[in-house]
Amino acid sequence: MQSASTAQHQRRYLYGILMAGVGSILFSGKAILIKLAFGYSVNAETLLALRMLMALPMFWAIYWWESRRKPMNPLTWPDRFKLFFLGFLGYFLSSYLDFLGLQYISVGLERIVLYLTPTIVLLISCFFLNKAISRLQWYALVVGYLGVFIVFIQDASSTGVSAWLGMVLVFGSACSYTAYMIGSGEMVRRIGSVRLVVYASTASAVFSLIQSSIYNPSAIFEQVEAIYWLSLLNAGLCTVIPMLLIMVAINRIGSPLVAQAGILGPVSTIFMGYFILSEPITWIQISGMALVIAAMWLLVRNDDSRKKSPNSSERDDFDKTESLN
């Protein structure tokens, strides 16, 4: 009986690791699809609107299924307003800045910059929330940003000044998402992660549609067929499905291991960029990526150790999930 239980536990663990790794890789594929779509001369506003509009029915289907499994408390109007604002920060503004930045930098650099989200959380906690940062965390911060600078050198050598603009836009995307993560901590504990994602995504879809309509009201109806297929893949394969995989993985193996499996994200993006987009892979880029991954691994290990301390409180798992996006 004990051996059967052990085997079941091992399968659960392996399936959790597999889902976390696949989810991270699929999330990273978003940048590849956006780059391919830009090849058809479509603008970022239209791409974002199509992605969110196509993802919205999928999110609400998940919400309907979840609501059948367990009852949900009604939302107050202050909750709705806060969710609308969080959707603007985390799903609209962050995604829009990311889409804009991808016009100027490689998918490898984009994913590595977004992978720095935990360091931005640390810096905001230090300078605005007066929380102490340990010496190990400072070392990890320095190593991580040094790695990004090394990868940036690779991009700047081929794209010039525009690499700076792309870098700033994608870093702004990471900062916007960080603000969303910090603001959503209390909400997810009260209303649940599924409902938070669905309402925030709905708000983002509204903002995206308004923006696209102002820019060009008919643009979402006038694209070539390839754009709609790429947007559907982006919405389903690179947004909704990986989010489900990550959520299930957290329930199976916990957020620290899921965060470590997220290392596959930037690694896979660089190789997908090489095979699909013909973006070069150099030793400079690999060295910078290795530094960033090492820094994030140190932060995850340090956070895991802190959570196991008897004097520390458990952080919400959803924050770790969102940092992988």
Give 28-67 as a DSSP string.
Answer: HHHHHHHHHHHTTT--HHHHHHHHHHHHHHHHHHHHHHHH
Number of domains the chain contains: 1
Q: Residue 83 sits in which domain range?
A: 15-323
Spatial distance between the Cα atoms of 136 and 139, rounded to a whole number of angstroms: 5
pLDDT value at residue 133: 82
Residue 255 tokens, joined: 């957020």
Spatial distance between the Cα atoms of 217 and 254, rounded to a whole number of angstroms: 44
pLDDT tens for the chain, 325 residues long, are: 456 677 777 787 788 888 988 999 999 999 999 999 999 999 999 999 999 999 999 999 998 988 887 777 788 888 889 999 999 999 999 999 999 999 999 998 999 898 888 888 888 878 877 888 888 888 888 888 998 988 888 888 877 788 999 999 999 999 999 889 888 877 888 888 888 889 999 999 999 999 999 999 999 999 999 999 999 999 999 999 998 898 888 888 877 778 777 888 888 998 999 999 998 888 888 898 899 888 887 777 666 555 555 444 434 433 444 443 4
Would residue 135 count as lying in a domain? yes
97-98-100 Cα angle (round to 5): 65
Distances (CA, A) of 42 to 36, 51, 226, 252, 317: 10, 13, 11, 40, 37
Spatial distance between the Cα atoms of 27 and 104, rounded to a whole number of angstroms: 20
Q: Which secondary structure element, helix H or strand E, spans residue 187, and what is its range? A: helix 162-191
For 279, list phi and psi in degrees, rounded to 5. Answer: -80, 135
Would residue 138 count as lying in a domain? yes
Would residue 259 count as lying in a domain? yes
The pTM of this model reads 0.87
Would residue 23 count as lying in a domain? yes
Would residue 10 count as lying in a domain? no
pLDDT value at residue 26: 93
Amino acid identity, position 161: V
Would residue 249 count as lying in a domain? yes
Would residue 86 count as lying in a domain? yes
Q: Is the dihedral of CA 234, 235, 239, 240 positive or negative?
A: negative
- 74 secondary structure, DSSP code: P
Residues 6+ positions from 117 with CB-CB distance below 8 Å: 174, 177, 178, 181, 323
Would residue 40 count as lying in a domain? yes
Residue 34 tokens, joined: 């956006």
Q: Is the dihedral of CA 33, 38, 42, 45 positive or negative?
A: positive
